[in-house]
Amino acid sequence: MLSYRKELWFNVPSRRGFINITGQVEECLKESGVKEGLCLINAMHITASVFINDDEGGLHQDYEKWLESLAPHEPTSQYLHNRTGEDNGDAHLKRQVMGREVVVAVTKGQMDFGPWEQVFYGEFDGRRRKRVLVKIIGG
């Protein structure tokens, strides 16, 4: 069985953003040599997310609006977490909703996606470097 691990690094200049990382994960899969197996992609920070969905700008704007309605950034005083001196209580909640990781089947050396599926990094408290782990196992 083959095992592959790589960290992808991101620095989103704004507080929030979504980045399509499908191409980078596909490159990892090629590097791994795995033809049949599983690919785990997970955010290594508690204010970021990895998820699968459509790469459509309107959908991403809908996510932004929906997440902000669920856990608005302002006023920051509404979050007990922010009593620690942070201002990112909302980012922790947004991450919880969007999820930490995804697992994708690998078939014939390709990620086994349904129509329109892409892998995204979701940032909810940006402006600093954060990483995503890609772990691929199989044969």
> pLDDT tens digits, residue range 51-110?
999 999 999 999 999 999 999 999 999 999 999 999 999 999 999 999 999 999 999 999
Q: Is the peptide bond before 115 cis (omega within 30 degrees of 0)?
A: no
CA–CA distance, 61 with 99 (Å, rounded to integer): 18
Average pLDDT over residues 23-32: 98
CATH 2.60.120.460 fits 2-138, yes or no: yes
**Percent of all residues in the chain with a pLDDT value above 90, rounded to a whole number:** 100
**pTM higher than the cut 0.85:** yes
The domain spans of the chain are: 2-138
- Contact (CB, 8 A) for 129 and 11: yes
- Euclidean distance between the first and the last CA atom of the chain, given in angstroms as a whole number: 5
Question: What pLDDT does residue 49 have?
Answer: 98
Confidence of residue 125 (pLDDT cuts 50, 70, 90): very high
DSSP state, 74?
S
What whole-number distance in Å separates Cα of residue 35 and Cα of residue 109? 4
Residue 79: partners with Cβ closer than 8 Å, 6 or more residues away: 89, 90
